[in-house]
Amino acid sequence: MTSLLVLNGPNLNLLGTRKPEVYGSTSLDDVRESCRRQAEELGLDLDFRQSNHEGELIDRIHACGQEVRAGLSIGAVYNPGGHTHTSIALRDAIEGVELPVIEVHISNVHAREEFRHHSYISPVARGVVVGFGVLGYRLAVTGLYELARQEGRL
């Protein structure tokens, strides 16, 4: 079965435990379950991951790029967390394997501190979903799925 990667960067394992006024009270396990149900409805396998380690995230992006080339995956929904604003290496990884990515942010980064307004990832993403809370993951999955259909990859 064709798969879909939902990738989460540093500190997103803390979701639902702290800062509910910014990130809500839903846990990352709840997000995983919601994505699992949505993937099932769409007839896709779900690969849901979180890592606090940049190299691990880069390796996963490379692997997913190969899966897309082989027709085994439609790409990734990616919340890069703090790496959004710092990581040229993650941007290069996405660009390097031409991975179809929908970038997602739970909070409206543009309504927050200025250092959150710039993303190294957005220029290499196919789309960006910002500020819808954890609903953004579902919107991003829908967007990635529709792009894959439009492009004849599903």
Rounded least distance, CB 154 to ligand CA2, Å: 27
Among 67, 84, 94, 101, binds ligand CA2 (CB under 6 A): 84
Cα–Cα distance for residue pair 13/113, rounded to 1 Å:
22
Is residue 143 a contact residue for ligand CA2 (CB under 6 A)? no
**Nearer to ligand CA2 among residue 49 and residue 153 (C-beta):** 49
- By the rule CB under 6 A, 122 interacts with ligand CA2: no
Side chain identity, residue 104: V
Residue 101 to residue 113: CA distance in whole angstroms: 25
DSSP lists the bridge partners of residue 154 as none
- Please state the closest distance from residue 153 (CB atom) to ligand CA2, in A: 26
With CA atoms as reference, report the closest residue to 38 among 136, 121, 129, 104: 136
Q: 14 Cβ partners below 8 Å, 6+ apart?
A: none
Binding residues with ligand CA2: total (CB under 6 A): 16
Give the span between the Cα atoms of 26 and 29, in whole angstroms: 8
Which tokens hold the place of 147?
A: 């792009």
Give the span between the Cα atoms of 22 and 2, in whole angstroms. Answer: 34
79 binds ligand CA2 (CB under 6 A): yes
Provide, rounded to whole angstroms, the least separation between the CB of residue 38 and ligand CA2: 18
Instruction: Please give the positions annotated as active site.
Output: 23, 105
CA torsion angle 105 135 15 126 (round to 10):
-30
117 forms part of the interface with ligand CA2 (CB under 6 A) = no
Chosen residue from 81, 138, 145, 148 binding ligand CA2 by CB under 6 A: 81
**Residue 108 CB, nearest distance to ligand CA2 (Å)?**
8
Chain residues that interact with ligand CA2, rule: CB under 6 A: 11-12, 14-15, 18-19, 23, 79, 81-82, 84, 105-107, 109, 116
